[in-house]
Structure 1
Amino acid sequence: MEITGIHATPGYSGFFFDDQRAIKQGAQQDGFTYEGEPVTDGFDEIRQAGETIIVDIELADGTVVRGDCAAVQYSGAGGRDPLFQAEEYAPVVEGPVADELVGRDATEFLANAELLEELQVEGDRLHTAIRYGVSQALLAAAAEAENTTQTDVIADALGTEPATEPVPVFGQSGDDRYNNTEKMFVKGVPVLPHALINSVEKIGENGEVLLEYVEWLVERSQELGPDGYEPRFHIDVYGMIGEIFGAPYDRDEVVDYFAALEEAAAPFPIQIEGPMDVGNRADQIDAMVELREGLKDAGVGVDIVADEWCNTFEDVQAFVDAGAADLVQVKTPDLGGIHRSGQAVRYCEGTETRAYLGGTCNETETSARACAHVALATNAAQVLAKPGMGFDEGYMIVENEMRRTIARRKREQQTTDSDTDEITADD
C-alpha cells in the first residue's frame, strides 16, 4: 500500500527539557523551575516545556497512522543533537522527509526506515528526534498495510521470535521515591524504582542514605506487594558512587559498599545504573570494567548498568564489546530510527550483557507504545514505563500495549491453527 502524505503538527511531550550543563554548574531550583540563565545553545530557560512533532502518515486507502518525534530530557547535552524545537523542525518533516517517502510502499518498513536514517538535509543527517518519530509512523503504516501488529513487523525486520509474555516493566519514581514506589509495590511492578539518586544528600556522604532506602524497599515491598512478589531493584545513582568514593573502583572500600547494597537488598537482586561518570566514553568503559572485575573477584552479585556515555548504537556496541556492564540502557530517542533500538537490543544477544530498552520521561504515549512493540519483538530484559514522571500513566501505557498485543497474536494464531485443522480434516 502506497504512502500518500506526511504531515507534521507541533505538540507537547510528557515532561520537560532541562539544561543539564546549567544545572551541573549550580543552578538553584525555584519551585519546579530553576533560577539563572541557560548555557546550552537553544535554551531560553533552564527548564522549559518538552516538545514533540506529531507525525501523521496517510495511506492510499485513507488510513492515517501516527508517530511522535521526541528527544531526551537533557537534550543538547553529552554530544547529542541540538535542543529539539518542534516549530523549527516541522517543515523538515513536511518537506525533505515527505519528498523522500511519499509514493513508497508502506509494507517496506525496514527499507523505508533505513532510507530515513541516511537522508541528509544541507549535508547533515536528520535530527535523531525526527528519525525516531517518523520511523514510528512508518512502523505503524507497515502494520496497518499488512493487517498485523507492530511487534510482528519489527520481528520480521530483525529476524526475531517475539516474546509470548510481557517484558518486565521498569518503573521510575522520580524524586517522589517513596510514594511512587509504594504505588509500584501495590501493582507488583517487576523492576523498580530508579529513585533519582543524583546528589550527595540523597545517597549520603558515605552512602548510608541509599542503604537505608534499599532496606526500606525490601520491607515495604513485602508489606504492599502481591503474594509471592519478587521485585528486582534498579537504582540510578547518576555517578554519585564515584563522587563519594572515587577511583580506583576495584578497591576494597568501593567493593565493600556494593556488598553492603547486596546485603541490604537480599533476598532480591539489585542493579545500579551509572555508578560513576568520568567524563568520556573510553574512560567510562574502563571504569565500569574495573568495577565489574572487582565485584566479580569479591563474589558480589550486584549488576551494574551503563547509562552515562552510552547513547548511540555505536556506544552500545562499545560497552557490550568491552564487557563493561551487566545491562546497557538503549536510549530509544538517541538512536534515531526505532529499528535501531531493536538492533541495539539484538546486539546484546549471545553476550554477557542484557538489554534494557529505556528512553526518557520526555516522550509521548505514542512513542511509548511503539517501544513496547520493540521490547516484545526483541524480548528485551526490561522496558521503561514512560512517558512522564508520575509512574502510573507510563506503566499503564506500556504494560497494556504489550498485553493487548500478546492477546491479539494469540487469537490470530488460534484462528490460523483452527483453519489448518479444518483443511487437514477435509483432506
Structure 2
Amino acid sequence: MQIKNVLLAPGSGAFFYDDQAAIRSGAMQDGFIYVGQPITPGFDFIRLPASSLSIGLVLADDSIVWGDMMGVQYSGAGGRDPLFEPNQLSDLTSRIVAPRLLDADASHFCESCTRVFEPFEHTPLPLALEYGVSQALLRAAAHLHRKTMAEIVCSEFNLPLPTRRVPIYCQSGDAREINVDKMILKAVDVLPHGLINSRQKFGVGGQTFMEFVTWVATRTRQIGRPGYHPVLHFDVYGWIGQEIGLEPQSIADFVCKVADTVPDFTLNIESPADFGSTQAQIENYAKIVSILDNRDSSARIVVDERCNTLEDIRLFAEAKATHLVQIKTPDVGSIADTARAVLICKANKVGAYVGGSCTETDLSAQASVHVSVATQADMMLAKPGMGVDEAFSIVGNEQNRLLAMLNRRRSENVG
C-alpha cells in the first residue's frame, strides 16, 4: 500500500507559543501581550502566534490524508524540544522523511512509524515532526483498512474495541471566571486548569490560588445541574515549589491544605514544583505522592514538566512518582508512543491523561481522541485553543461519533 507523494502546507496553531522562563521571571501582561525581553532561545518576543505544518500523504487511490506538526505552548521549557520552526521542519521533512514515506507500507501503522522515524545521522528526529507524520500514517492505515483510527490502534496493540467514553478536561486560559461558568453549564468532566502561571495568580503563600479553588467549588454548586460533580484540576506551573519551597513535606502539606478547603471534590494538582531535572523530579514527586497516599488525601499529583518522552513516562510510572501522567502528545512524538504511554501507565497502576497543548489543531485533537478512546485513557484534554466552546465541541463530538461507529461495528460482528 504505497504512498505516491507527500504534500506540505504551512498552518496556524490554535493559540500562542509563550516563553515560560520570561513569564516566571516576572514579565507583566499588557492586554494580550507580555512586556519585556524573552529569555528562552528562539523567542523574539515573549508571546508568539503558534505555527503548524501540515503533511499530506497521497495514497495509491489518490486519496490524501493529513497530519499536523506543532510545538507546545511552553516550548523549550522543562526539558522540551526548542521552539517550533516550520521552515526547518519543512526542509527536514522534504529531504529525509518524504523519501522514507515513499518506501513505507502505509497499511502497517506501527511498522511504518518505526521505519520512518529512525534517527538521521545518529540524531533523533524532532518530536513535533514525529507527531504530525504519525497522525497522517494513522489516518492512512484507517483509510486503507476502511476502519476508524481507534480500530487501527486496537488492532496494533491487541486491545478490545472500547465501549466507554473518556472523561474530558477543559482549560480556562486567562478568562478564568467566564470559562469556568461555561464549563459548569456544559457539565465538563474535569475543570478548570486555571493557568496559575505567575506569582500574581498564585499569591503570597498561595492565598490567591486557594481562594480561586474555593470559588470554583462554590460556583459549581451554585450553577451546576443537580448531580453534577466534576473533578477539580489546577495547573500551578511549579508555583507551589517557587512560593512554599522545594521540601516535599512542605509541598504535600500545602496540597493537603488546599484539598481540605474542597472536601467534597477530588482535587488534581498539576506541576506542583519543578526540581530542575527528570531524576530530581522523580525522586521528589515520589515522596510527595507517598505522603499524600499515607494521609488518604483526596488530592492527586499530576506530572507535566520533566516528564516529556515515552521513556520519561515509563520512569515516572515505574517509580510511582505521580498519580496521573500528562501525556503531552507533541512532546511524546509519534502518536503510537502516546498509545504506548497510556498502556505503560495502566500497567503500573498510574493514571493516564492524554493531554497536549492549546497550540494544537483540529486534526491533531481528533487523532488524539481515537488514541485516547482506543487505549481507554483516564481523561483527555479538550483541545485545541484556550476557548472552552471550540475545544470541547471538537473533542467531544469526535468522541461521540467514534463511539457510535464502534457500536455499529460491534453489532455487525455479533450479527
Alignment TM-score > 0.5, same fold: yes
* Residue 232, structure 1, aligned to residue 242, structure 2: no
For structure 1, the 5+ residue unaligned runs are 419-427
**Residues 54 and 69 in structure 1, CA contact (< 8 A), matched pair in contact too:** yes
For 2:40 and 2:254, locate their aligned partners in 1 and report how far apart those are by CA, in whole Å: 36
The whole-number CA distance in structure 2 between the counterparts of 1:298 and 1:207 is: 21
305, 309, 313: which one pairs with 2:310?
Answer: 313
SS in 2 for 1:161: coil
Question: Which piece of structure 1 moves more, 384-393 or 95-104?
Answer: 95-104
Aligned twin of 2:406: 409
Matching residue's letter, 1:315: D
Counterpart Cα distance in 1 of 2:256 and 2:73: 32
Shift in CA distance, 67/313, structure 1 to aligned 2, threshold 3 Å: same
> Is 2:305 aligned against 1:304?
no
Return the offset for 1:103.
4.2
- Give the structure 2 partner of residue 89 of structure 1: 89
8 A Cα contact 1:6 1:93, kept in partner: no
Q: Pick the aligned partner of 1:340 from 323, 329, 337.
A: 337
Q: How much has 1:38 moved relative to structure 2?
A: 2.8
SS of corresponding position for 2:326: strand
**Percent identity at matched positions?**
41
Q: Choose 186-195 or 284-293, whichever is displaced more.
A: 284-293
Structure 1 range deviating more: 222-231 or 301-310 = 222-231
Aligned partners of 2:314 and 2:5: how far apart in 1? 36
Shift of 1:223: 2.6
| Contact 1:162-1:376 at 8 Å conserved across structures | no
Q: CA RMSD, aligned part only?
A: 1.7
Comparing 145-154 with 239-248, greater Cα deviation is found at: 239-248
Query: In structure 2, what residue type is equivalent to 1:248?
Result: E
CA contact (8 A) 2:164 2:376 kept: no
Using a 3 Å threshold, how does the CA distance of structure 1 residues 87 and 248 change in structure 2: closer, same or farther? closer
TM-score by length of structure 2 reads 0.95
Question: Where do residues 202-221 of structure 1 align in structure 2 (5 Å cutoff)?
Answer: 202-221=201-220
Give SS of 2:249's match: coil
Distance 1:38 1:153, change over 3 A: same
After superposition, the C-alpha distances for 1:199-218 in whole angstroms (9 at most, x for unaligned) are 33322312232222222222
Partner of 2:98: 98
The question of whether the paired residues in 2 share the 8 Å contact of 1:218 and 1:265 is answered with yes
TM-score normalized by the length of structure 1:
0.93
Number of the residue aligned with 2:61 = 61
Amino acid corresponding to residue 6 of structure 1 in structure 2: V
Note the C-alpha offset of 1:240. 1.4
Paired with 1:218 and 1:35, the residues of 2 have a C-alpha distance of 33
User: Do the aligned partners of 2:79 and 2:306 also contact (CA within 8 Å) in 1?
Assistant: no
Residues 355 and 380 in structure 1, CA contact (< 8 A), matched pair in contact too: yes
Cα-to-partner distance string for 1:115-172 (whole Å, 9 max, x where unaligned): 122141x542221111100100000000000000000111111222243122000110
8 A Cα contact 1:7 1:93, kept in partner: no
Distance in structure 2 (CA, Å) of the matches to 1:78 and 1:202: 20
Query: Residue in 2 aligned with 1:421?
Result: none
Check the 8 A contact 1:163/1:376 in 2, yes or no: yes
Q: What is the rounded CA distance, in whole Å, between the counterparts of 2:100 and 2:377 in structure 1? A: 32
Judge conservation of contact 1:13–1:362 (CA < 8 Å) in 2.
yes
Amino acid across the alignment from 1:284: Q
Q: Distance in 1 between matches of 2:414 and 2:310?
A: 39
* 33-42 or 50-59, larger mean C-alpha shift: 33-42
Q: How does 1:29-178 map to 2 (within 5 A)?
A: 29-120=29-120, 122-178=121-177
SS at match of 1:17: strand
Q: Is it true that 1:399 corresponds to 2:396 in the alignment? A: yes
Partner of 2:187: 188
- Residue of structure 1 in register with 2:364 after alignment: 367
Alpha-carbon distance in structure 1 between the residues aligned to 2:306 and 2:84 = 20
Deviation (angstroms), 1:60: 0.6
Contact 1:4 1:103 in 2 (8 A): no
Offset at residue 301 of structure 1 (A): 2.4
Task: Report the CA distance between 1:68 and its aligned residue.
Answer: 0.4
* Structure 2 Cα separation of the partners of residues 266 and 78 of structure 1: 32
Describe the superposition over 1:298-323 as per-residue Cα deviations: whole angstroms up to 9, x where unpaired: 33221111112111111111111111
CA contact (8 A) 2:55 2:66 kept: yes
* 1:323 pairs with 2:320: yes
Aligned residues: 415
Does structure 1 conserve the Cα–Cα contact (< 8 Å) formed by 2:328 and 2:357?
A: yes
**In 1, distance between residues paired with 2:252 and 2:43?**
40
Note the residue ranges of structure 2 that are not aligned, 5 or more in a row: none
Question: C-alpha deviations, 1:165-215, integer Å up to 9, x for none?
Answer: 220001101111111011000011001111011233322312232222222
Q: 1: distance between equivalents of 2:155 and 2:217? A: 41
SS of 1:67's partner is strand
Return the match for 1:291 from 260, 283, 288: 288
Farther-moved stretch of structure 1 (254-263 vs 240-249):
254-263
- The aligned counterpart of 2:348 is 351
Shift of 1:10: 1.0
Asked if the contact 1:175–1:196 (Cα under 8 Å) also holds between the matched residues in 2, the reply is: yes
**Match for residue 424 of structure 1?**
none
| Structure 1 counterpart of 2:381 | 384
Structural mapping, 1:240-255, within 5 Å: 240-251=239-250, 254-255=251-252
The one-letter code matched in structure 1 to 2:92 is V
State which structure, 1 or 2, has the greater radius of gyration over its C-alpha atoms: 1
d(CA) in 2 for partners of 1:35, 1:145: 50
Deviation at 1:238, TM superposition (A): 1.1
Question: Which amino acid in the other structure matches residue 56 of structure 1?
Answer: G
